[in-house]
Structure 1
Amino acid sequence: MPTDEGRVHCRLDELLEERGMTLTELSRRVGVSLVNLSVLKNDRARAIRFGTLTAICDVLGCTVGELLVVVPER
């Protein structure tokens, strides 16, 4: 069975840059540790809680589809 592991890309870096916000500020506003946000930002996360996902999207003013994208298979 094929795996989709590694095909989901988190656009957190781009969204933070567009909004002039730092990861530290996002961490403070969302209530998630800087380490956990860094793992997400660097595409190393294996899971994310819906509450965390919603909070990030609320603070960044984006949708889940703008934050997480599926990279096409090669």
Structure 2
Amino acid sequence: MIMINLDVMMAKRKKGLTELAGEVDITLANLSILKNNKAKAVRLSTLNAICKALDCQPGDILQYVDDEEDVENE
């Protein structure tokens, strides 16, 4: 499964949801879904805008975790 570590990058860059939502031109609700790892998909244009706003790479935000490991940790 793909984990979205947006909250980690936001903390590193000291950016809040409202500020980032404005820079990325995404609703607070949709950004919150991404931040809380509830999203089923993310558009590449949105990922591009997030990376630009946070000055990071997609790999700084997205992480692959083996589903078996995820089940064991629950």
TM class, shorter-length: 0.7 to 0.9
Letter in 2 for 1:22: G
Q: What is the aligned residue count?
A: 68
- Runs of 4 or more, structure 1, over 4 Å off, are none
Residue 66 in structure 1 maps to residue 60 in structure 2: yes
Residue 9 in structure 1 maps to residue 3 in structure 2: yes
Identity score, percent: 43
Report deviation, 1:71: 1.3
Report deviation, 1:56: 0.3
Structure 1 distance, partners of 2:43, 2:15, is 22
Structure 1 distance, partners of 2:51, 2:22, is 14
TM-score by length of 2: 0.86
- Secondary structure, aligned partner of 2:63: strand
Counterpart of 1:41? 35
Deviations 1:31-69 (A, max 9, x none): 000100110111110111111010000000011111110
Counterpart of 2:24? 30
Structure 2: stretches of 5+ with no match in the other structure:
70-74
Question: Alpha carbon RMSD of aligned pairs, Å?
Answer: 0.9
Instruction: Kindly indicate whether the alpha-carbon contact (under 8 Å) linking 2:5 and 2:37 is maintained by their aligned counterparts in 1.
Output: no
